[in-house]
Chains A and B, each alone.
Chain A
Amino acid sequence: MSITSDILRGHTEAIILANLLEQDSYGYQINKDIMKKTNNTYELKEATLYSAFRRLEQAGCIRTYWGDETVGARRRYYAITEDGRKAYQGYKQEWQEAKEIIDKLLK
């Protein structure tokens, strides 16, 4: 499982962008969705997740805003930007190509 974690870690940003394609979300919700989609086999460490958020924000792929919660502490929401959508398409394509190459080489 540790090898898989390392491999997947490099794709954290694409995974987050994929999650934000449909709707805005916040940290914990995103992690929960990922766990659900992978049937609890994959969970991102908080540090990894938030590190990816910062990088995505720096690159202009996502933007953040504070939610106006009526109860509890206010939350930081993330939304994907146009640049982010383009970057995501790029990621997906590169991943497809990489997948094909590796599948060919690892018979």
Chain B
Amino acid sequence: MDERIRQHFNTIFAEAPKTRMALDLKQEMTQSAIDKYNDMVADGYSEEDAYQNVIDSIGDVTELFPEVEEKNLFALPEKDRKKKAMLTACAVGLYIFAGAIFLASGMLSEGFGFDEHIVMTYGFVLAIIICIPPTVMLVYAANMYPGYTKREKQDMVDQIKEVNHRTNREKAVLKTIRSLIWTIALIIYFTISISTFAWNVTWIIFLIAACVQKIVQLIFELRTEEKHL
């Protein structure tokens, strides 16, 4: 009888949008109907009567179809969309601000007669530091969307969806760490170079940064492998 109920739901959901939400809903309603059927039979109703009652109490499922449409970019809840827009706008603003600081440092040095190179490098470092918050904000904004996959198949998709979701998160974290590593590398580079003036040697810092980044990536991959095992 379970199969018969399932078949019925397959029929009435035939015209439904082919989305993950629709599939989940169909499963949930099917299970609920089966639970009800079992309860009625346990209460003493005949199989046929119970089945008929269960079918009759479903109602009109077509009113549910609009609500299970696939959520796309424009269907992000209003609150989140505004938040994401604000984050992006602030991030761009901060980048421009960083650029302005850099240029201002150049003009400042001329105005006050300081050594142009030193002041500009300080300005450059300051600008780089100012770039950290907007980068973090952009990564956060990009990660705000749910990790739904576009292709909807069967029940197995659930596991795959979870894995995708997790790897999206991990990728975002990795990206943030990577930009942090490079930003810090730049800062260290300039700080050391300014103090020692050994510009012909300090570029090696970037090679070190590349190594550090690879190490971090390796650690990440090992950790995620452990998690999946």
Show the binding face of A for B, using Cβ within 8 Å: 26-28, 31-32, 43, 45-48, 50-51, 54-55, 58, 72-73, 75-76
Q: How far is the CA of A72 from the CA of B31 in the complex (A)?
A: 9
Assess the B31–A75 pair: CB atoms within 8 A. Answer: yes
Show the binding face of B for A, using Cβ within 8 Å: 24-25, 27-29, 31-33, 35-36, 39, 57-61, 63-64, 67-68, 77
Q: Which residue of A lies closest to B60 (CB)?
A: A47
Q: Which residues of A contact B36 (CB under 8 A)?
A: 28, 31
Assess the A51–B32 pair: CB atoms within 8 A. Answer: no
Assess the A28–B59 pair: CB atoms within 8 A. Answer: no
Contacts A50-B64, A76-B24 hold; do A27 and B29 have CB atoms under 8 A apart? yes
Assess the A47–B59 pair: CB atoms within 8 A. Answer: yes
Partner pick for A45 among B31, B57, B77, CB 8 A cutoff: B57
Q: How far is the CA of A54 from the CA of B65 in the complex (A)?
A: 11
Q: How far is the CA of A58 from the CA of B35 in the complex (A)?
A: 26
Q: Taking chain A's interface residues, is the majority helix, strand, or loop, or is none over half, making it mixed? A: helix
Q: Which residues of A contact B58 (CB under 8 A)?
A: 45-47
Residue from A50, A55, A76 whose CB has the most chain B CB atoms within 10 Å = A50
Assess the B63–A46 pair: CB atoms within 8 A. Answer: no
Q: How far is the CA of A45 from the CA of B56 in the complex (A)?
A: 8
Q: How far is the CA of A26 from the CA of B31 in the complex (A)?
A: 11
Q: Which residues of A contact B28 (CB under 8 A)?
A: 27, 50, 75-76
Q: Which residues of A contact B25 (CB under 8 A)?
A: 50
Assess the A46–B27 pair: CB atoms within 8 A. Answer: no
Contacts A73-B27, A76-B24 hold; do A47 and B64 have CB atoms under 8 A apart? yes
Assess the A27–B32 pair: CB atoms within 8 A. Answer: yes
- Minimal beta-carbon separation of A55 from chain B (angstroms): 8
Q: How far is the CA of A26 from the CA of B32 in the complex (A)?
A: 9
Q: Which residue of A lies closest to B54 (CB)?
A: A46
Q: How far is the CA of A75 from the CA of B34 in the complex (A)?
A: 12
Contacts A51-B64, A51-B67 hold; do A46 and B31 have CB atoms under 8 A apart? no
